[in-house]
Amino acid sequence: MNKQPTGPGEIGWQARKSAATRDQIISAAIRCIVDLSYSKTTMIKISEKAGLSRGATLHHFPSKMDIIRAAVEYLHEKRIQAFRRSIREIPDGADMAHLAVEAYSAHLNHPIYIALFELSVAARTDNELKEILHTAQLAFDREWYETAWDLFPEWHSDRKAFDLALNLSQQLMEGMAISNFTHARQIDKKQLLTYLEEKVRELKP
């Protein structure tokens, strides 16, 4: 990779390569989860996608669960980052309801969400995974709620209405995202989202 000798005082010795392959492994694991499902994600498949041998992968992560653990951390970090970015980009004075709905809608079709959903479903019947997810999930939920609260100061006069609007949006949109593959019948998403935006505006104090 980088053949320059470690400069004086430089922290990074070439464990940067190690960090880089670690990231490769985590990224490969997430792609496996999205493409193959959690249960079909094996060390072999991860190694193949990462372009490494099994031994190399096992050198960085002693067991499969260690990879999953790292992947969950990575996913939640990225998810919060993406959430913050998407709402920071909303211009002042814009149609907040519409843009916020749009933003969360886009998020729900992103691989990050799909991977986390796949893991959440698998966790229903896997206690070890459930425990790994629980901490990160709790942190995300709190972060999500507080970021939204800060973002919409005009709701501060009515916390109940705020909770209702937030929950309504979240639950409905997640239901819609998931129904993509739990239902054969195609629904009119646009109609539903427009209606949702309307109701959110109505709820605003």
Partner DNA sequence: CTTGTTTCAAACAGTTATGACTTTTTTCCG
Partner DNA sequence: CGGAAAAAAGTCATAACTGTTTGAAACAAG
Quote the least distance from Cβ 28 to its own copies, whole Å: 16
Binding mask 121-160 for its own copies (x = CB under 8 A): xxxxxx-------x--xx--xx--x--------------x
CA angle 174, 179, 182 (to 5 degrees): 135
What is the number of alpha carbons within 13 Å of residue 33 lying toward its C-beta? 26
Q: Should residue 40 be labelled a site residue for its own copies when binding is judged by CB under 8 A?
A: yes
- Identify how many contiguous H helices and E strands the chain contains and give both numbers: 9, 0
65 binds, among DNA, its own copies, none (CB under 5 to 8 A by kind): DNA
| Alpha carbon distances (Å) from 114 to 21, 81, 106 | 23, 16, 12
1 binds, among DNA, its own copies, none (CB under 5 to 8 A by kind): DNA
Binding mask 41-80 for DNA (x = CB under 7 A): -xxxx------xxxxx-xxx-xxxx---------------
Which residues neighbour 21 within 8 Å (Cβ) at sequence distance 6 or greater? 50, 52, 56, 60
176 binds, among its own copies, DNA, none (CB under 5 to 8 A by kind): its own copies
* CB nearer its own copies, residue 117 or residue 149: 117
